[in-house]
Amino acid sequence: KAGVTQTPRYLIKTRGQQVTLSCSPISGHRSVSWYQQTPGQGLQFLFEYFSETQRNKGNFPGRFSGRQFSNSRSEMNVSTLELGDSALYLCASSHRSLSTDTQYFGPGTRLTVL
């Protein structure tokens, strides 16, 4: 079974630009969660989509948004990029909504904002 895939793996943007990241979950998984990982703040929950609906949301500004398609693939968008948005963005998929015991992470997209 193929794992969670994320594209692109690396991205360099400048302040003020916007970026879209993509996540393809494990086949059959309907839940996709997004996380931001930085050395200072660690791993922080952004939001979760389940069957195309946002189910849960973390404590991030509205510049961070996402969506999920009917095939469960998900995209995350960050508008008006700031230097502090430089991070590893991880997505995780699971069968059930934010199921803590069956969550599989992708390799992440490393975003650098200059």
Partner 1 sequence: QKEVEQDPGPLSVPEGAIVSLNCTYSNSAFQYFMWYRQYSRKGPELLMYTYSSGNKEDGRFTAQVDKSSKYISLFIRDSQPSDSATYLCAMAKDNYGQNFVFGPGTRLSVLP
Binding site for partner 1 (CB under 8 A): 4, 42-45, 56, 90, 92, 96-101, 103-108
Task: Indicate the Cα dihedral angle 45, 50, 56, 59, nearest 10°.
Answer: 40
Give the chain's largest Cα–Cα span: 39
64-68 and 53-57 strand pairing: unpaired
Pairwise CA distance, residues 49 & 32, whole Å: 5
Q: How far is the CB of 106 from partner 1 (least distance, A)?
A: 5
Q: How far is the CB of 108 from partner 1 (least distance, A)?
A: 5
Judged by beta carbon, residue 79 or residue 103, the one nearer partner 1 is 103
Q: How far is the CB of 52 from partner 1 (least distance, A)?
A: 18
Enclosing H/E stretch for 102:
none
Q: For 82-91, give one letter per residue: b (16+ CB within 10 A) or e.
A: eeebbbebbb
Q: How far is the CB of 82 from partner 1 (least distance, A)?
A: 22
Judged by beta carbon, residue 6 or residue 15, the one nearer partner 1 is 6
Judged by beta carbon, residue 86 or residue 99, the one nearer partner 1 is 99
Judged by beta carbon, residue 58 or residue 79, the one nearer partner 1 is 58
